[in-house]
C-alpha cells in the first residue's frame, strides 16, 4: 500500500505541476510522468507532428517527459515566430549530450553574446571566401575534376553506392574552406575524420541520445554509446588542433589562406576587448560546427538529387538538354550560368523541397513570453519549427507530394522561388551556410548532369521513403552512371 501511495502521490504531483494553463497551446492528452513520448511515431516524427496540427491547430504543445515542446506549423506561423518576433526566439535549448563536448561554444548551439560574435564572424568570413577574390567556386569545380579524373565515379557502368564519393567531395569543400587544403580520397586521416562525423551524427539521432538528453545525470555515469560520442568528438577536436598548430607555423596575417587564418587574426585584433569571445577553444568548436552542419546536409541533398534523376529519366533529359544548350560540353559550369538555367535550378530546388532533409529545423527556446496563434508560450519553452508542414502544405504547392519542377517556374518558364520554400529555416538563426550550400548544389549537380547519365540498375525500383535520423536521408542505394 506504500507503493500505491507513492504512485498516486507522484501522478497527482505530476498532474498539478504539468497541467496546461488555458492560455497555453492545446495538444494531445499527456500521460503522467512520460507525457507524449509515445504519442509520436519515432521513425516518422516529422509526419506525426504534421498530422497533429490537423487536429490541434498550427500552434500546439506536447510534453516530452517533464519538458514542454511547442510545435509551430505552416508558413504564416513560422514567419510570425521566427521573423516578426524573432528576438524572442533567438536562443537554443541546451542539449546535454552536445554540451558535454562543446560547452556552450561555437555557433550552432551557443547563445547570447558568444553566438552573436561567432555568427557575425562566420558569416563575414564565409562571404569573403564565398564570392570575394577567394571564392570557393574554383575549389568546387576542381573537386569535381579530381573525382572524375580518378574514374572512381562510374565504376564502368556497374551499380555502385555513390555515398562515399559524394561525402568525400562535399567534406573536401569544407576542408578547403577551413584548412586551406583538400585531402586525397585514400588519405587514412581524412577517411577517419569522415567516419567520425558520420558515427557521431548517427549517435545523436539514437534512442540512447534521447535518453541521455532527458536524464543526463542518471545516464552519464553508465557505460554506453554516449562515451563513444564524447570520445570521437574529442578525437575530431584533436584533428582540428593539429591543423591549427600547422597554420600557426607559417601564418601571414596580411594574407589569410582560409577560415583558421582569419580566425587567428580575429583573436589577435580583439585581444584588447574585454568581452571578446575569440580564442582557440572557440575556434576549434566553430570549425567542428562547420563540418557537422555543412557536410552531411549537402551530401544528403546531392544523394537525393541523383536518386530523383534516376527515378524521373525524362526530367533528367530535360536538364541535360538545357545544360547542353547553355553550357555545352567544352567548359565547366559556373555560377554565372544559373540565371540561364531556370529548369535545372527548378529541379535542384524541387530536390531540396522533396528531400526535406532537416524536417523539424533545429530547436529554439523562448527567451521571454510570446503570443502565438492566440496562445501564450511562456519563457523557457522549447519550440520546434516544423519545416515539413510548410514544404508540403497543400495551400502552398500545386502537387505537394509529387516531384514537380513546375513549383519553381512561372508561365514563361522563368525561375521563381515561392516564399514557402524554407528548407534553411528563417529569421535570426537561418542556416549560416545557405549560400555555400546553394553554390555547391548548383555546381556539383550541373557538373554531374553535364558529364553523366544516372539510372537504376536493371529491375531495381528506387526507394523514395526517407530514413529518419539527424537528417532525412535516402536509404543506401546503388545506381549506375554512364559518361555522356
Q: Which residues are annotated as a binding site for heme?
A: 431
Residue 457, CB-side half-sphere exposure with 13 Å CA sphere: 13
Report in angstroms how near the CB of residue 139 gets to ligand HEM at its nearest.
Answer: 13
Residue from 436, 439, 449, 481 in contact with ligand HEM (CB under 6 A): 436
Using the minimum distance from each CB to ligand HEM, give the nearer residue, 40 or 173.
173
Cβ within 8 Å of residue 15, ≥6 positions away: 32
Report in angstroms how near the CB of residue 420 gets to ligand HEM at its nearest.
Answer: 14
Report in angstroms how near the CB of residue 428 gets to ligand HEM at its nearest.
Answer: 7
By CB under 6 A, is residue 298 in contact with ligand HEM? yes
Q: Phi and psi dihedrals of 332, rounded to 5?
A: -80, 155
Residue from 165, 262, 290, 381 in contact with ligand HEM (CB under 6 A): 290
Using the minimum distance from each CB to ligand HEM, give the nearer residue, 39 or 298.
298
Q: Which span sits near ligand HEM by CB under 6 A: 291-299, 318-326, 444-452, 460-468?
A: 291-299
By CB under 6 A, is residue 139 in contact with ligand HEM? no
d(CA 138, CA 34): 52
| DSSP for 87-136, written as a single string | GGG-B----HHHHHHHTT-SSSS--HHHHHHHHHHHHHHHHHHHHSTT-S
Closest CA to 31 of 61, 53, 64: 64
Considering only residues 362 to 421 of the shown chain, the ones binding ligand HEM according to CB under 6 A are: 362, 385
C-alpha cell at 203: 549517435
Q: Which span sits near ligand HEM by CB under 6 A: 31-39, 294-302, 338-346, 459-467?
A: 294-302
By CB under 6 A, is residue 37 in contact with ligand HEM? no
Residue from 167, 171, 236, 297 in contact with ligand HEM (CB under 6 A): 297
Residue from 14, 261, 289, 322 in contact with ligand HEM (CB under 6 A): 289
Task: Work out the end-to-end distance of the chain between its first and last CA atoms, rounded to an integer number of angstroms.
Answer: 78
d(CA 236, CA 162): 24
Using the minimum distance from each CB to ligand HEM, give the nearer residue, 82 or 147.
82
Report in angstroms how near the CB of residue 323 gets to ligand HEM at its nearest.
Answer: 21
Residue from 69, 165, 293, 309 in contact with ligand HEM (CB under 6 A): 293
By CB under 6 A, is residue 258 in contact with ligand HEM? no
By CB under 6 A, is residue 117 in contact with ligand HEM? no
The Cβ of residue 187 has, within 10 Å, a number of other Cβ atoms equal to 12
d(CA 422, CA 73): 12
Residue from 301, 382, 386, 446 in contact with ligand HEM (CB under 6 A): 301
By CB under 6 A, is residue 439 in contact with ligand HEM? no
Report in angstroms how near the CB of residue 184 gets to ligand HEM at its nearest.
Answer: 22
**DSSP assigned state of 64:** E
Report in angstroms how near the CB of residue 324 gets to ligand HEM at its nearest.
Answer: 26
d(CA 107, CA 116): 8
By CB under 6 A, is residue 433 in contact with ligand HEM? yes
Alpha helices in 154-258 (DSSP H): 163-179, 188-204, 207-214, 216-219, 225-249
Reading phi first (left if > 0) and then psi (alpha if -120 to 50, else beta), residue 61 is in beta
Report in angstroms how near the CB of residue 119 gets to ligand HEM at its nearest.
Answer: 5
Q: Phi and psi dihedrals of 349, rounded to 5?
A: -65, -40
Residue from 375, 429, 449, 473 in contact with ligand HEM (CB under 6 A): 429
Query: Residues forming the annotated binding site?
Result: 431
Closest CA to 205 of 105, 301, 106, 292: 292
Using the minimum distance from each CB to ligand HEM, give the nearer residue, 107 or 409.
107
Using the minimum distance from each CB to ligand HEM, give the nearer residue, 14 or 182.
182
Using the minimum distance from each CB to ligand HEM, give the nearer residue, 108 or 315.
108
Residue 221, CB-side half-sphere exposure with 13 Å CA sphere: 2
Cβ within 8 Å of residue 26, ≥6 positions away: 20, 56, 57, 60, 61, 375
By CB under 6 A, is residue 49 in contact with ligand HEM? no
d(CA 166, CA 481): 14
Contacts with ligand HEM by CB under 6 A: the residue count is: 25
By CB under 6 A, is residue 361 in contact with ligand HEM? yes
Using the minimum distance from each CB to ligand HEM, give the nearer residue, 81 or 480.
81
Residue 213, CB-side half-sphere exposure with 13 Å CA sphere: 16
Calculate the alpha carbon distances from 285 to 25, 113, 157, 276 in Å. 36, 16, 41, 16
Q: Which span sits near ligand HEM by CB under 6 A: 14-22, 276-284, 371-379, 428-436?
A: 428-436
Calculate the alpha carbon distances from 357 to 7, 181, 345 in Å. 42, 28, 18
By CB under 6 A, is residue 119 in contact with ligand HEM? yes
Using the minimum distance from each CB to ligand HEM, give the nearer residue, 50 or 361.
361
C-alpha cell at 380: 523557457
Q: Which residues bind ligand HEM (CB under 6 A)?
A: 107-108, 119, 289-290, 293-294, 297-298, 301, 357-358, 361-362, 385, 423-425, 429-433, 436-437
Amino acid at each position: 500500500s506504500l507503493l500505491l501511495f507513492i504512485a498516486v502521490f507522484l501522478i497527482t504531483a505530476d498532474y498539478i505541476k504539468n497541467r496546461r494553463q488555458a492560455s497555453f497551446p492545446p495538444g494531445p492528452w499527456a500521460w503522467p510522468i512520460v507525457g507524449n513520448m509515445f504519442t509520436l511515431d519515432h521513425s516518422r516524427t516529422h509526419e506525426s507532428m504534421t498530422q497533429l496540427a490537423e487536429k490541434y491547430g498550427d500552434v500546439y504543445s506536447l510534453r516530452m517527459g517533464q519538458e514542454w515542446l511547442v510545435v509551430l506549423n505552416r508558413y504564416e506561423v513560422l514567419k510570425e515566430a521566427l521573423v516578426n518576433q524573432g528576438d524572442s526566439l533567438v536562443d537554443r535549448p541546451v542539449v546535454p549530450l552536445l554540451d558535454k563536448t562543446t560547452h556552450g561554444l561555437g555557433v550552432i548551439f551557443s547563445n547570447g553574446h558568444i553566438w552573436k560574435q561567432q555568427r557575425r564572424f562566420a558569416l563575414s568570413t564565409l562571404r569573403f571566401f564565398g564570392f570575394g577574390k577567394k571564392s570557393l567556386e574554383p575549389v568546387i569545380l576542381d573537386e569535381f575534376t579530381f573525382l572524375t579524373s580518378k574514374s572512381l565515379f562510374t565504376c564502368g557502368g556497374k551499380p555502385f553506392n555513390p555515398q562515399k564519393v559524394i561525402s568525400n567531395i562535399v567534406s573536401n569543400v569544407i576542408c578547403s574552406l577551413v584548412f586551406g587544403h583538400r585531402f586525397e580520397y585514400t588519405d587514412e586521416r581524412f577517411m577517419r575524420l569522415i567516419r567520425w562525423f558520420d558515427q557521431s551524427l548517427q549517435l545523436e539521432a539514437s534512442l540512447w541520445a534521447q535518453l541521455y538528453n532527458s536524464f543526463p545525470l542518471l545516464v552519464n555515469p553508465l557505460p554506453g554509446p554516449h562515451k563513444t560520442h564524447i570520445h570521437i568528438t574529442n578525437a575530431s577536436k584533436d584533428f582540428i588542433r593539429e591543423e591549427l598548430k600547422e597554420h600557426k607555423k607559417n601564418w601571414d596575417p596580411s594574407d589569410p589562406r582560409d577560415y583558421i587564418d582569419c580566425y587567428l587574426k580575429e583573436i589577435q585584433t580583439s585581444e584588447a576587448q574585454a568581452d571578446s569571445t575569440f580564442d582557440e577553444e572557440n575556434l576549434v568548436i566553430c570549425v567542428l560546427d562547420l563540418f557537422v552542419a555543412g557536410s552531411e546536409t549537402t551530401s544528403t541533398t546531392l544523394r537525393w538529387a541523383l536518386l530523383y534523376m534516376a527515378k524521373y529519366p525524362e526530367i533528367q533529359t530535360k536538364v541535360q538538354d538545357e545544360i547542353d544548350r547553355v553550357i555545352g560540353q567544352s567548359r565547366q559550369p559556373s555560377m554565372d550560368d544559373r540565371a540561364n538555367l531556370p529548369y535545372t535550378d527548378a529541379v535542384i530546388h524541387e530536390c531540396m523541397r522533396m528531400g526535406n532533409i532537416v524536417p523539424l529545423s533545429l530547436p529554439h527556446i523562448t527567451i521571454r513570453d510570446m503570443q502565438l496563434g492566440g496562445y501564450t508560450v511562456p519563457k523557457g519553452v522549447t519550440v520546434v519549427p516544423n519545416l515539413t508542414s510548410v514544404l508540403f502544405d497543400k495551400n502552398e504547392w500545386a502537387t505537394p507530394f509529387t516531384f514537380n519542377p513546375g513549383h519553381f517556374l512561372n508561365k514563361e518558364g522563368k525561375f521563381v522561388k515561392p516564399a514557402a520554400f524554407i528548407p534553411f529555416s528563417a529569421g535570426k538563426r537561418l542556416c549560416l551556410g545557405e549560400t555555400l550550400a546553394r553554390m555547391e548544389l548548383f555546381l556539383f549537380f550541373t557538373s554531374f548532369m553535364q558529364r553523366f547519365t544516372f539510372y537504376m540498375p536493371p529491375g531495381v525500383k528506387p526507394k523514395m521513403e526517407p530514413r529518419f535520423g539527424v537528417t532525412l536521408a535516402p536509404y543506401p542505394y546503388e545506381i549506375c552512371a554512364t559518361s555522356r
